Structure 1
């Protein structure tokens, strides 16, 4: 019986290999392989109710404000106004899902869907451009849980995932059905750009880069070494045919131009402020994979960089159509401002995409020794398994911490006004980020409470605060304070924040991971404490009643 089982298993494996061979792709780039990889990447989210990504609680709090119906206390504190802006993907998705499943489930599913599109779109692009040489695909997947996702830039991740997926679809349809490809691109570009301007712009960028790269690949063999001043050689090229091919590939990209023009015409005015932070661009190479372990994250970044640089000496190369998309995204990362119209860290978000494409589209099928390609694939899968295990372990720890911090809300009366201060993480103290930056926004979800943690940049966000207790205590980033070690002499500490805070105009003061302020305020009565986090109820004419635990 055992022998029969072994024979059947052998036949099954041989049949599976035959299917993969007919598909013309590596096993992990087959249809089932891509689906399995996406599911594995999304598994850590099964351990949490609130995805522990920095901005996601803020998105969920904003969704609670949008969904507030008549009689909800949030109505007297906030107004929600839908505007035509290129930053609404997560909000729309949460509204659609929240109407059926509730805001908590909508936040979870929105994050998982965006992550799945990000990973799946990356793998599909590799499958379409590098099916037999994508041995470094696992290295690409390591950049899914990178700065943009771990920071919780939900709109950007959703738009980028849509762009990568639509780009892969355009490559698949290019030969099968050019009309369907054009129609798909015309629809996909405005949708992706409405999710997020930069993430949506990647679709047009990738399509154009691939079209020009393909034109370069189709030039006669050895053209690089010819005398470009030889007019006779230049005349032998069919420039009309080349131009026609480029036009056929790129004319649907006019949809991106039309979307930008409509946005400029109908979006509300925004304060124009473009800032290039060159030190931030330099640091992003170090911080892109920042997660739980400095050694693991540094090591992964260094090895991935070496793989790109050393690969060509081992026979792994890019054709123009494979290398130009990654190079174009990298050049955009260098050229684009760091802050655009109130949106920060715009440039850093692009670096992981450039890394994903550069690694995944590096063709190892022509490696000088076949075992080198296998070693790259096996090491990548092993390291990816380690990183995903660490991510899952960290998610379980964040879930436990979130539950402890949110237990403070059981002491908050529904419809109250909560002034929150959270200690912002800095590298001088810890490589690991606490990811509590916008946890206070969940007070709007769980207790229908006002909190000073919402994004409210005019022309960019839909939340409009109606209750304004103080000039600088109405919306993000008024909730941030720094430890005494991180303050650096100019950033505010919790003591400085409380000194100027409009405490008499709120009902509670929630200190998240700040520790106990040095000076007692007679208006504050301690009602909850968990480690370095405290919740105070405001007493208009109270006397000092502090008896906090030592910590």
Structure 2
């Protein structure tokens, strides 16, 4: 009888009650935390650097070496999202549990933010919100850009609120929106300046869509309508923005080949063919909705603005890396949200199956990467407290799968109070600054690249990685090397490294080693 009911065409095309669709959207958003069940430590590239910075900011008693190695240049800037969220919580449950909880909540808040936007626009949750969740675990979140990812989640919630208040378009409503969004914009900016920019483009696109047919006057009015979000701009212009001075607007926009690869990798995860197939299916759904007249201009225009910004912006902007690549996934999410298609068993089933498969494959990859991290960390047992550790991590540029160990050296600070070159000690951007390191020990300076057919410090495919001239090692007591795994690159990993003269290997795995360096003469 149940099989007969499910095969009934009327049931497959019936629309559930709006509250049922809302519940389904909330459950799907909650499922975005599933990868955390597969890894005790989230294998995000930047994650240990976030942890180490917060550990130095508030280490508790008994860590004198940290004060010798580091100083804190605390300032209010547009890059403090997880710092402000984790530090108070860490005093209650500890730093690493607090960081894990906040990281776990970010994809959930993002998924629920997508639900909030669609609910605000249509008073129901349809296919668009569920399809958009496929883009939540995109490269910025996978790489551990936690401040930015939190800012995007907050921006979606703020945009949903803007949509609701826009329904009260009279004078009183406009004034109320200004009172609300002055502080809201500042909160999103404090989380991350790029997230604040995402919110501004979403609001601008929405206001342009509301003034369709008004010509250039409508464009001017739409721009002026965003005035409640302007206060952080005054702060940035007065201070030079993150990074200071002209760095706010410096950078190369990048080649056409780079931009093409950036867009193709908007859903980059662990399996190239699967990720590209997901992107193709999502784009096909958007094209199909466009053909059926089911794309909502109120979200299409914001999506196009974000896509345009991704194509125009340089990779390095306002002191951040991959500034352009951060915007593509948000544009794709809004493109999916623009699909005005009610939920049915026929429409929801394939979307949820694709989302579940993507999360399951990611969970399997996280489990393997967490096990690899567990094999790397015992090297720190050989490092005395307060030592200086030069971290050298080799990346394979041609690899599709993420190898999340670029900042693995930060664990030496967390576990051994060490001075390491693998944080983000960038003036005017992060609070953490190196106190005693020289020019050779710049931070970050840990990353090397390896690619077939390219000369360089790390050599060509089949050649040994040569670290005799690795600058940070000149001012370090220990050298911690991590190479690319063959399973990640799809090719043979480089042979063992050539170490600086006098180095003694203390610990080794098939892809890493820890060596004690000879004292500098």
TM-score (norm 2): 0.85
Note if 1:532 corresponds to 2:511.
yes
Q: State how far apart, in whole Å, the 1-side matches of 2:203 and 2:277 are.
A: 33
Note if 1:48 corresponds to 2:19.
no
Note if 1:481 corresponds to 2:448.
yes
Partner residue, 1:107: 99
Cα–Cα, structure 1 residues 539 and 378, in superposed 2: closer, same or farther, change >3 Å?
A: same
Cα–Cα, structure 1 residues 59 and 453, in superposed 2: closer, same or farther, change >3 Å?
A: same
Q: State how far apart, in whole Å, the 2-side matches of 1:172 and 1:292 are.
A: 38
Q: Which runs of 5+ in 1 are unaligned?
A: 6-13, 229-233, 543-551
1:466, distance to aligned residue in structure 2 (A): 1.4
Partner residue, 1:34: 25
Matches within 5 A, 1:102-501: 102-131=94-123, 134-175=126-167, 178=173, 181-216=177-212, 250-264=226-240, 269=245, 271=247, 273-278=250-255, 279-313=257-291, 315-364=292-341, 375-427=346-398, 430-469=399-438, 471-476=439-444, 478-483=445-450, 485-486=451-452, 488-490=454-456, 492-493=458-459, 495-501=465-471
Q: State how far apart, in whole Å, the 2-side matches of 1:518 and 1:361 are.
A: 51
CA contact (8 A) 1:86 1:263 kept: no
1:475, distance to aligned residue in structure 2 (A): 1.0
CA contact (8 A) 2:182 2:228 kept: yes
1:44, distance to aligned residue in structure 2 (A): 1.4
Q: Provide the aligned length of Structure 1 versus Structure 2.
A: 492
Cα–Cα, structure 1 residues 321 and 422, in superposed 2: closer, same or farther, change >3 Å?
A: same
CA contact (8 A) 1:290 1:431 kept: yes
Q: State how far apart, in whole Å, the 1-side matches of 2:224 and 2:201 are.
A: 15
Cα–Cα, structure 1 residues 253 and 482, in superposed 2: closer, same or farther, change >3 Å?
A: closer
CA contact (8 A) 1:173 1:181 kept: yes
Q: State how far apart, in whole Å, the 1-side matches of 2:134 and 2:39 are.
A: 20
CA contact (8 A) 1:201 1:256 kept: no
CA RMSD of aligned residues (A): 3.3
> What are the superposed Cα offsets for residues 328-354 of structure 1, whole Å, 9 maximum, x if unpaired?
212222222221143221011001111
- SS of 2:154's equivalent in the other structure is helix
CA contact (8 A) 1:88 1:195 kept: yes
Note if 1:509 corresponds to 2:479.
yes
- SS of 1:342's equivalent in the other structure is coil
CA contact (8 A) 1:85 1:267 kept: no
> What are the superposed Cα offsets for residues 221-266 of structure 1, whole Å, 9 maximum, x if unpaired?
xx9xxxx9xxxxx9xxxx8xx8999699544234344444454489
1:502, distance to aligned residue in structure 2 (A): 5.5
CA contact (8 A) 2:115 2:125 kept: no
Q: Which runs of 5+ in 2 are unaligned?
A: 3-10, 485-493
CA contact (8 A) 1:85 1:263 kept: no
Q: State how far apart, in whole Å, the 2-side matches of 1:50 and 1:391 are.
A: 14
> What are the superposed Cα offsets for residues 379-403 of structure 1, whole Å, 9 maximum, x if unpaired?
2111111101111111211211111
Q: Please, which moves more after superposition, 204-213 or 139-148?
A: 204-213
Q: State how far apart, in whole Å, the 2-side matches of 1:442 and 1:335 are.
A: 36
CA contact (8 A) 1:68 1:75 kept: no
